[in-house]
Amino acid sequence: MGKIQVGDKHFIPFITAQLIRQEVDRIALEISRDLAGTRPVFISVLNGAFVFTADLVRRLRFDCQISFIKLASYSGSTSTGQVTELVGLNEDLTGRQVVVVEDIIDTGITMGKIIDILRGKGASEVRIAALLFKPDAFMGHFRIDYLGFSIPNEFIVGYGLDYNGLGRNLPDIYQITDES
Ligand code: HPA
Ligand code: MG
């Protein structure tokens, strides 16, 4: 695992696939202890969370459903500012235990909107599972129930996370270098 180039930027090794696997194992155990028997629905936020979701749910041995959403932002015609909409959610969430699965939470603005929308759809409880968290960027008011790593506010790629669409397929996570 050495220095790599993704697009026009250089990255150095940051979190190994082995360490990621350890944390995913631990998160899966915690979720199993808390939620086995509630038949939760895991809602994976595309695109970045697809790798984390695939690894996480394959470690769960209880009945659950898995769904995927994408966020679409547009300028509302009647209101000021951005309107966020969830695309792809077909499940009826009324009375359901929901776990939102994210690759990374930085400002928390997006996740805050997702939580509001899911609560509005009648979920009995909405929990958050995130592999990565940048506390120095965070402005949200919610708790991350299941967390892998708190990391510095530096740009990273790999394990689902991209730079200009590239690098999602890397099994390890890399951090941008100063001399990028
Ligand atoms: N890398 C890729 N995507 C991201 C990051 C990052 O560091 N932070 C939030 N989305
Ligand atoms: Mg994401």
Closest C-alpha among 130, 135, 132 to residue 146: 130
Mark the residues whose beta carbon lies below 5 A from ion ligand 2. Answer: 48, 102-103
Per-residue CA distances from 53 to 17, 135, 160 (Å): 15, 22, 10
110 within a domain of the structure (yes/no): yes
pTM listed for this prediction: 0.95
161 within a domain of the structure (yes/no): no
127 within a domain of the structure (yes/no): yes
Q: Is residue 128's pLDDT more than 60?
A: yes
User: In testing the pocket of ligand 1, which one of 51, 136, 150, 161 has its CB within 8 Å of the most ligand atoms?
Assistant: 161
Q: Return all residues near 144 (Cβ < 8 A) that are at least 6 apart.
A: 105, 128, 129, 130, 133
What is the distance in A from the centroid of ligand 1 to the CA of 170? 14
Question: The CATH number of the domain where 139 resides is what?
Answer: 3.40.50.2020
143 within a domain of the structure (yes/no): yes
Element (H or E) spanning 120, and its range? helix 109-120
What is the distance in A from the centroid of ligand 2 to the CA of 50? 9
Encode pLDDT of 38-66 as tens digits: 999 999 999 999 999 999 999 999 999 99
Per-residue CA distances from 3 to 105, 153, 157, 164 (Å): 25, 20, 12, 18
Average pLDDT, the chain: 94
Catalytic residue list: 106
Domain count for the chain: 1
In the chain, what percentage of residues exceed pLDDT 90?
86
6 within a domain of the structure (yes/no): no
Q: For position 88, what pLDDT does the model report?
A: 85
Range of the domain at 130: 17-151
User: In testing the pocket of ligand 1, which one of 14, 52, 102, 106 has its CB within 8 Å of the most ligand atoms?
Assistant: 106
Instruction: Provide the pLDDT confidence category of residue 80 given band limits of 50, 70 and 90.
Output: low
Strands 125-133 and 97-105: parallel
Q: For position 86, what pLDDT does the model report?
A: 86
Q: Is residue 77's pLDDT more than 60?
A: no
Give Cα 51 to chain centroid, integer Å: 10
- As a whole number of angstroms, the distance between CA 13 and CA 2 comes to 6
Q: Is residue 15's pLDDT more than 70?
A: yes
What is the distance in A from the centroid of ligand 2 to the CA of 102? 5
